[in-house]
Each structure stands twice: as C-alpha cells, then as structure tokens.
Amino acid sequence: MPKAPATKSRKRVAPKKHVTTAIGTESLATGFVRADLVFDGLDHSGASFEARIFINNPDADANTEMTVQNRYAGKFHVFGHGGCFGDVGHCEVRGIPRPYDPRPAHPLTPMRKVVIATEALRREIKRSNGKGLTLTIVPIVRSGTVRCDYENVLKFDGVSVVTYA
Amino acid sequence: MANRLTLRQNIESLELTSSGLVAFRDAVAKMQALSADDNRSWMFLAGYHGFPQFQCWHGGRIGLNQQALTYDLFLPWHRAYLITMEHTLRDQNAAAALPWWDWTSSGSHRVGVPLAYSTRRIGKTPNPLINGPVPEVRSGRVPGLPPSPARKTTRAPGDPEDLPTADQVNSVLALTDFVDFSQQLQDIHDQVHGWTGGRNGDMGTIVFAGFDPIFFAHHCMIDRIWYLWQLRHGVQNVPPDYMNKPLAPFPLTVGDVLDIHRLGYEYAQASSSHD
C-alpha cells in the first residue's frame, strides 16, 4: 500500500469524493426485505473519516444535507490507523498468508464495510427507472495525524448492492 | 468480596467523589506513574492496542482482493483487553472497576465527554482520566518523519449532538447474526472514536487511542452492548469456528470470553432506552 509522504507541516486539503459508474439493478430481486451497500477493499491506514453516500446525485459534497431530497442513502465510519509509525515497510500489507502461517492477517489488510440502506435503495431503484445507480461517496475527515494523506483518504476496490429476499 | 462479580457501572451514575470512582482514579493514576517498560504500567497496557505492538483487531480482517478471511475478532479481542486492563488496575487498587460511557444518553448529547473524564482537578488532585501518558516515538526511523517526544494524550471532541443515538444502538441490537451485528456495532464504535479524537486527538486513530483513559469507557460501552445482544440472541452465539481462536497477546480464546460472568464481572442495570 503506498505510504503518504510525511512532512512536518502537512497541510490538510479537502478529501476527494468518489463517484462510481452506474450499478445495474436489473438482476436485483424486487420485494427485498433488506438491501446493503457493501464496500470491499477499503483502506484504513490513514485518517479516520465519515463517508456519506448519495445515490444518483453526482454533485453531492460535504455541504450537502443528508436528506431524502438529496438522495442520501447512509454513511459509514472508518477508525483509521493514523499513518505509519514504524520502519520502512512496516505498513506494507503482507500478501495472502502462506501455508502454515498461524499469524493473524496484517493489521492494515483492507476491510469491508456494510451499509444497511434498505429504504433508500428501494426508493432509488424505483426512481431510476432501470437506468442504474450511481453512488457518490463523500468523505469527511474526523481525525488524523501528520502522517496521514487527507486528500486521498477514501480508497476502496469496489462496491456492490446486496439484497435479501 | 474476592469471589463476587466486579460490577461495572455507568460513569454518569457515579458522583465524582464516590468511592467507586475514587478507587478507579487511584488505580489509573498509579498505573500512569509507572514507566513504559514496566509491564504493569498504563503505557505498556495501552501499547497492546496500537503503537508499538499493534495487536488490536480492527477493520474486519477481510482479505486482499475480496479473498475474505472467515472471522473477525473485534468484539472478543476487546473483551479480553478490557478484562486484562481491569485486573491490572485492581492490582493497584482492589476496588477499581471499569465504568462505561453511554454516548447515547441525554447527558452525553448535551455535554459530550462525561464530567468524570473532562474535569481537570478533583479537589486539589489532578484528574488522571483527563489524559494519559504516551511514550516517545523515536525519530529517524522513516525518512522525513518528525520526532515525537513523550507527551500526554489530547482530545478535540465534536458536537455532542453528533454522537450515536439510542435508535442506532437499538437497530444494531435487533440484528440476529453475530458477524452482521459485530460489523454494524464496529461502525458505531468507529464513529465515536473519530468524534472524541477530533482533528488531532489521540482517540481518533488506532495508533494512540489506547493511551487515552476514555478509550476504556468507550469500549466498556461497546462490550456492554454486546452483552445486551447476547442476552437477546444467545451467549454462545458466534460462528462455531470462532470458538478456539486465540486472542493474542491475552491467554484467552473466543470461547473463554463469551460469558462475562465466567470472566467475573457484571454490568449494572441502567435506565437507558436500550437496556
């Protein structure tokens, strides 16, 4: 995992938001009892942050109110590691464990976050008329250290919609 | 006394000069006075969580490229950590017990951090719950990093109204699957860490959070919520392959920490909306 360059006087810049490509909804069962937004491969090596999720509202930002009108879906929180406090290589995630390695996964192994967003997804799937869902994820940094990359705090591999019938 | 369950209480129910809180502060102050190299010290125990030992379970441990590991020890690991800290405190003062901070309470939503953790002095004595000692972080280990001398923890808490609500906790308590419950409770936990630490505060990041005394009151609340969930959904309700997982560095497995009475403690009844 790339380490943030550290300086004594790192300035805090606004964290970048992420807008996904459209997620198709054709294959989703209708009449679900629960629907989740599942984020995989989420980085938690840096600052702690709140991530607000809006559906089909690419203009949403940190000042957008979390309302139905603004197509707010939910949020998740990351308790960040705070940057690297070891020698070179300390925060590089080991790969897939080799056979017979009894140690737990590396502490910075990317994580999964599940946001239960049943009513928001029900509403927005209906509203989208089959055109798919575009998610805007807006990070708000809550806490960090001089060793954190605030601008690129939000990093993940992918997000999916999971429904339960 | 020796065979009784230790009673953990809501910090807001304790007067600043109550005997329970006096004993707890006394134990914390004595641990804080010991050096980082002493394995009875506040710094040594705090160092299990983040810097320098990084033993804590956070982040769900979901594997690389969605190759998921099959277990997440967030709740049992922290239960083992709390009981270890509580016994280490009781080595200093036998009457000490960890209190919990109910951040959903009306009091917390009005004032934020409880008075017991924000009052600078109790009479003429400095309050050891205001902050905790952090050892030096040596410079020169990673090129370009500034040195960090020995210091005390700080906090910059947010707006009290932004703390989690009882409704949030009740929603989580209604979940029936342990892994699902653990993930959702961890998110509330993450929210409180960021809220309490604020921009530069130590509670806000894994590396130094354990050094702040309020860490343990926060985690006591998390542990209590797990206990309330267990009362509804079963004490032994974890996936079977969790049972024998060790909770390093503590000499306990997941199976060992499921029943809090077997661990020798109990939570006081509380008149909250999620008890």
Q: What is the pLDDT of residues B157-168, one digit of tens each?
A: 999 999 999 999
Q: Do B206 and A113 touch (CB under 8 A)?
A: no
Nearest to A82 among B56, B187, B208 (CB): B208
Render pLDDT for B10-28 as a digit per residue (tens, 0 to 9): 999 999 999 999 999 999 9
**How confident is residue B64, by pLDDT bands cut at 50, 70 and 90?**
low
Q: Do B59 and A95 touch (CB under 8 A)?
A: no
Residue B156 above 90 pLDDT?
Answer: yes
Neighbour count for residue B178 (Cβ, 10 Å): 19
How far apart are the C-alpha atoms of A158 and A42, rounded to whole Å? 8
Render pLDDT for A95-130 as a digit per residue (tens, 0 to 9): 777 777 777 788 888 889 999 999 999 999 999 888
Assess if residue B275 is contained within a domain.
no
Mean pLDDT of chain A: 88
Is the pTM of the predicted complex or chain greater than 0.90? yes
The pLDDT of residue B100: 98
Residue A165 above 60 pLDDT?
Answer: yes
Render pLDDT for A51-85 as a digit per residue (tens, 0 to 9): 999 999 999 999 999 999 999 999 999 999 998 88
Residue A3 above 50 pLDDT?
Answer: no
**How confident is residue A94, by pLDDT bands cut at 50, 70 and 90?**
confident
| DSSP H or E segment with residue B169 | helix B166-173
User: Domain residues for B103?
Assistant: 6-267
Lowest-confidence pick of A26-40, A60-74, B101-115, B183-197? A26-40
Q: Does B170 touch chain A (CB under 8 A)?
A: no
Peptide bond into B249 cis (omega under 30): yes
Q: Which residues pair with B135 in a beta bridge?
A: none
The answer to whether residues B78 and B57 touch, using CB atoms and an 8 Å cutoff, is yes
Give domain limits for chain A: 18-93+100-164
- Nearest CA distance, A34 vs chain B (angstrom): 12
Helices (H) and strands (E) in chain A, counts: 1, 7
How far apart are the C-alpha atoms of B111 and B109, rounded to whole Å? 6
- Burial classification of residue B34, based on how many CB atoms lie within 10 Å of its CB (0-12 exposed, 13-18 middle, 19 or more buried): middle
The pLDDT of residue A85: 81
How far apart are the C-alpha atoms of A62 and B270, rounded to whole Å? 37
The pLDDT of residue A1: 36
Residue A4 above 50 pLDDT?
Answer: no
**How confident is residue A11, by pLDDT bands cut at 50, 70 and 90?**
low
> Nearest to residue A49, comparing CAs of B135, B193, B132, B64?
B193
Cβ-based contacts of B204 with chain A (< 8 Å)? 47-48, 79-80, 82, 142-144
Which two structure tokens, joined as six digits, stand for B62? Answer: 């979901």
> Nearest to residue A143, comparing CAs of B193, B52, B187?
B193
Residue B270 above 70 pLDDT?
Answer: no
How far apart are the C-alpha atoms of B101 and B99, rounded to whole Å? 7
How far apart are the C-alpha atoms of B131 and B47, rounded to whole Å? 15
Nearest to B204 among A8, A95, A144 (CB): A144
How far apart are the C-alpha atoms of B39 and B191, rounded to whole Å? 31
Lowest-confidence pick of A155-159, B1-5, B217-221? B1-5
The pLDDT of residue B143: 57
Q: Does B110 touch chain A (CB under 8 A)?
A: no
Nearest to B190 among A78, A85, A147 (CB): A78
How far apart are the C-alpha atoms of A138 and A64, rounded to whole Å? 9
Query: What's the CATH code of the domain at B71?
Result: 1.10.1280.10
Assess if residue B272 is contained within a domain.
no
Lowest-confidence pick of A39-43, B32-36, B141-145, B149-153? B141-145
Q: Does A87 touch chain B (CB under 8 A)?
A: yes
Residue bearing the bigger pLDDT, B96 or B51: B96
Angle (CA) B77-B222-B257 rounded to 5° is 35
Residue bearing the bigger pLDDT, B68 or B127: B127
Q: What would the mean pLDDT of A29-49 be, rounded to a whole number? A: 92
Q: Does A116 touch chain B (CB under 8 A)?
A: yes
Q: How many domains does chain B have?
A: 1
The pLDDT of residue B229: 98
The pLDDT of residue B273: 52
Residue A9 above 60 pLDDT?
Answer: no
Assess if residue B274 is contained within a domain.
no
Lowest-confidence pick of A3-17, B37-51, B115-129? A3-17
Render pLDDT for B189-243 as a digit per residue (tens, 0 to 9): 999 999 999 988 999 999 999 999 999 999 999 999 999 999 999 999 999 989 9
Render pLDDT for B66-93 as a digit per residue (tens, 0 to 9): 455 557 899 999 999 999 999 999 999 9
Q: Does A164 touch chain B (CB under 8 A)?
A: no
